[in-house]
Amino acid sequence: MYSEKVMDHFTNPRNMGEIENPSGVGTVGNAKCGDIMRIYLDVDEAGVIRECKFKTFGCGAAVATSSMATELVKGKTIEEALKVTNQAVMEALDGLPPVKVHCSLLAEEAIHAALWDYAEKKGITIEGLKKPKNDIHEEEAEEEY
Ligand code: FES
């Protein structure tokens, strides 16, 4: 069912909490399951993500994917963080059951939303970053729960 890594990140989540005065913060939800994920970024002058924290109100897989996503983007540049897809998060967790794939999408979208907020605050454009959606469930409408 769940890999050891998923269980580890669920029972012992990394980087849980919030950052005061973050460089960027992004919140996304899935109206279908009701889960919500928020990611905070602290980006330095060189564009490197120094700190990344999360708050997730959701299922165990959502907690595990947020935890892994924050680990993956920490220390990365903006461009590198943009490449942290839900696939990358799932691979790092040794996979997720098919009905839980949408939880990892929440993590990808929350990172993008936080980067979008950072870009807006700085008045810059991040190449390749599209305006994030607040609700991701329309993308996986055919998925069964
Ligand atoms: Fe919806 Fe996990 S069940 S995020």
Query: 12-35 pLDDT, tens per residue?
Result: 999 999 999 999 999 999 999 999
In the residue annotation, 33 being an active-site residue is answered as yes
The structural domains of the chain, with segments of one domain joined by +, span 4-132
What pLDDT score does 144 carry? 45
pLDDT > 70: percent of the chain: 94
The residues lining ligand 1, judged by C-beta closer than 6 Å to any ligand atom, are 30, 33, 35, 58-59, 61-62, 100, 102-103, 106
Mean pLDDT of the chain: 93
Give the number of the atom of ligand 1 that is nearest the alpha carbon of residue 61: 2
Please spell the DSSP secondary structure of the chain, one letter per residue.
Answer: ---HHHHHHHHS-SSBS--SS-SEEEEEE-TTT--EEEEEEEE-TTSBEEEEEEEEES-HHHHHHHHHHHHHHTT-BHHHHHT--HHHHHHHTT---GGGHHHHHHHHHHHHHHHHHHHHHHT---TTPPPPPSB-GGGGTT---
Mean pLDDT of all residues in 114-118 = 97
pLDDT > 90: percent of the chain: 89
4-132 is classed CATH 3.90.1010.10: yes
Query: Does residue 79 register a pLDDT over 80?
Result: yes
**Which pTM does this prediction carry?**
0.93
Which of 6, 9, 27, 30 gets mutated to test ligand 1 (max ligand atoms within 8 A of its CB)? Answer: 30
Q: Which of 103, 106, 113, 115 is catalytic?
A: 103
What pLDDT score does 140 carry? 56
